[in-house]
Amino acid sequence: MKKDETKSDGKITTAPDGPILRVTFDNPARMNAINSSMWAQIPDIFREAEGDAAIRVIILQGAGERAFSAGADISEFGEARTGDAA
């Protein structure tokens, strides 16, 4: 990643600063619960960081002051379940 580049995709923000890449889960209203769109972005973020020799450290953080992350956004689970699993 280029120095001082900030990329915001959905509710994950990446901000490189020299050898540090800050990855922020930005969904504070839901205690930074990670939705399916956010989960899909995570591998790409790590692959991009892996290809950047300047990045030495990745810091994962949650937006706001209440929580790092509540984990998976289970409100989406009902939409994904069908048939006998529902």
CATH of the domain at 45: 3.30.300.220
Residue 22 domain-assigned (yes or no) = yes
Residue 59 structural domain: 7-72
Residue 2 domain-assigned (yes or no) = no
Residue 1 domain-assigned (yes or no) = no
Place 82 in a pLDDT band, splitting at 50, 70 and 90.
low
Number of neighbours of residue 19 by Cβ within 10 angstroms: 11
Query: pLDDT per residue over 16-72, tens digit each?
Result: 999 999 999 999 989 999 999 999 999 999 999 999 999 999 999 999 999 999 999
Higher per-residue confidence, 82 vs 50: 50
Residue 77 domain-assigned (yes or no) = no
Residue 15 domain-assigned (yes or no) = yes
Q: Is pLDDT above 50 for 10?
A: no
Residue 48: per-residue pLDDT = 97
Asked if 12 and 45 count as a contact pair (C-beta separation under 8 A), the reply is yes
Place of tokens 């706001």: 64
H/E/C letters for each residue in 4-68?
A: CCCEEECCEEEEEECCEEEEEECCHHHCCCECHHHHHHHHHHHHHHHCCCCCCEEEEEECCCCCC
Residue 39 domain-assigned (yes or no) = yes
Number of domains in the chain: 1
Residue 80 domain-assigned (yes or no) = no
